[in-house]
Amino acid sequence: MENFNFYSPTEFVFGKDRENECGALVKKYGGAKVLVHFGGGSAVKSGLIGRVLASLDAAGVPHVELGGVHPNPIDTKVYEGIELCRKEGVDFILAVGGGSSIDSAKAIAMGVPYEGDFWDFYSGKAPAAALPVATVLTIAAAGSEGSGDSVITKVDGMLKRGAGSDLIRPRFSVLNPALTCTLPAYQTACGVTDIMAHVFERYFTNTTEVEITDRLCEAVLMTMVKEAPRVIADPNNYEARANIMWAGMVAHNNVCGVGRGQDWNSHAIEHELSAKYDCAHGAGLAVIMPSWMEYVVDHNPMRFAQMASRVFGCAMNFENPKATALAGIKAFRSFLKSIGMPINFAELGAKEEDIPEMVQKLNPGDGWGFQPLKAADVTKIYQIAAKARL
């Protein structure tokens, strides 16, 4: 196990009706004036924004609102938020929504106290300060409610890049599974795929003898395999929604990823897809991740066989472990298809002829991770993904 620091100071406030505690929570964490930051109209129409604002009013916390966050959040909205916060004297950002609203809120939080361009933090610079951020989560997916990460797309050039700092870990996150019951099946499945991808990016490692984090990763994956079909069959299954929501946090606050090398190549390869076609991140991952697995399986067939056996219950082939490994990858892709995810370019709406452009934009250099990937490798993975079938 490698040396590591683990720090996850967010207070998670989980369960039915907990969004009504927002006002008290903002006060507890020192907010004097709040920006409520959200996406489309669904959070308004559902009455959620109204309940959050009522809770702030009841606690005597003044607030301003900024909606309209794009599903792949963009820099122009961040600039708008920074300006609004400065003008209004906001000192606390409350995101209401999914990973997009939260990531946009985190960008604004870093940008407000910074004299330069906030994009610096998405180009490698570490922030020295940030406004406190908190969240009311409406989709189990990105794990941003418990992470110090944020991904923003720069409209000029459609560059999708990430930033990370403990300063943007949420002070509190309200996780009410009931809020996710109105999600369409497709978005629910995209979230499940994203959660599984967050685990797989940690699971496929070159660090050996990391049983505890292996087992924790497998715990999240097995939970997805059990619970996802239940919510697809019955969107109002609160218990299944609750299991997925807590699993989504565990998948990405890094408790199951510490002390081991991680990968994240599938995420980087996917980011070019959602930047180019504006598809859902989870849908892109459903196309890319099994294809990445097929491409790198020979790097360590036993690790894939472990996944196949422990997570998908594939029988271990002791004479031919790679056969088990491939059966596990097939089981993963079948699972994704079964919950309504696309598994190839055509189903996603992507085009094979765009592969060179995406590879050029990704520009992997010598690569890194589980199996370092250069441009030629990424090309082959896109090609596998383009034609993938069950």
* Site membership for its own copies, residue 215 (CB under 8 A): yes
Segment contacting its own copies (CB under 8 A): 214-222, 328-336, 345-353, 375-383? 214-222
Q: How many residues bind its own copies (CB under 8 A)?
A: 44
Which of 6, 89, 234, 302 touches its own copies by CB under 8 A? Answer: 6
- Exposed / middle / buried, residue 54 (Cβ in 10 Å: 0-12, 13-18, 19+): middle
CB of 19 to its own copies, least distance (A): 12
* Site membership for its own copies, residue 18 (CB under 8 A): yes
* Site membership for its own copies, residue 13 (CB under 8 A): yes
CB of 2 to its own copies, least distance (A): 7
* Site membership for its own copies, residue 3 (CB under 8 A): yes
> Is the CB of residue 129 less than 8 Å from the CB of residue 114?
yes
> Is the CB of residue 266 less than 8 Å from the CB of residue 285?
yes
């990823």: which residue's tokens?
A: 257
Which of 159, 255, 346, 375 touches its own copies by CB under 8 A? Answer: 255
CB of 223 to its own copies, least distance (A): 5
Select 186 or 238, whichever has its Cβ closest to its own copies: 238
> Is the CB of residue 250 less than 8 Å from the CB of residue 256?
yes
* Site membership for its own copies, residue 259 (CB under 8 A): yes
């596990």: which residue's tokens?
A: 328
Query: Would you put residue 222 in left (φ > 0), alpha (ψ -120 to 50) or beta?
Result: alpha
Which of 44, 54, 181, 222 touches its own copies by CB under 8 A? Answer: 222
* Site membership for its own copies, residue 15 (CB under 8 A): yes
CB of 175 to its own copies, least distance (A): 9
* Site membership for its own copies, residue 233 (CB under 8 A): no
Q: Which residues pair with 162 in a beta bridge?
A: 151
* Site membership for its own copies, residue 373 (CB under 8 A): no
User: What residues contact residue 377 under an 8 Å CB cut-off, 6+ apart?
Assistant: 295, 364, 367, 371
CB of 230 to its own copies, least distance (A): 9
- The amino acid that residue 155 corresponds to is V
Segment contacting its own copies (CB under 8 A): 15-23, 37-45, 70-78, 118-126? 15-23
Segment contacting its own copies (CB under 8 A): 2-10, 125-133, 181-189, 273-281? 2-10
Which of 99, 132, 177, 328 touches its own copies by CB under 8 A? Answer: 177
* Site membership for its own copies, residue 209 (CB under 8 A): yes
**Alpha-carbon gap, residue 55 to 145, rounded angstroms:** 20
* Site membership for its own copies, residue 28 (CB under 8 A): no
* Site membership for its own copies, residue 126 (CB under 8 A): no
> HSE (CB half, 13 Å, CA atoms) of 366?
0
* Site membership for its own copies, residue 218 (CB under 8 A): yes
Task: Measure the CA angle with vertex 285, ends 258 and 166; round to 5°.
Answer: 35
Query: Would you put residue 209 in left (φ > 0), alpha (ψ -120 to 50) or beta?
Result: left
Q: Which residues pair with 133 in a beta bridge?
A: 93
* Site membership for its own copies, residue 136 (CB under 8 A): no
253, two tokens:
């606050």
- The amino acid that residue 231 corresponds to is V
> Alpha-carbon torsion 276, 282, 284, 289, what sign?
positive
* Site for its own copies, rule CB under 8 A: 1-16, 18, 177, 208-213, 215-216, 218-220, 222-223, 226-227, 239-240, 242-244, 246-247, 250, 255, 258-259
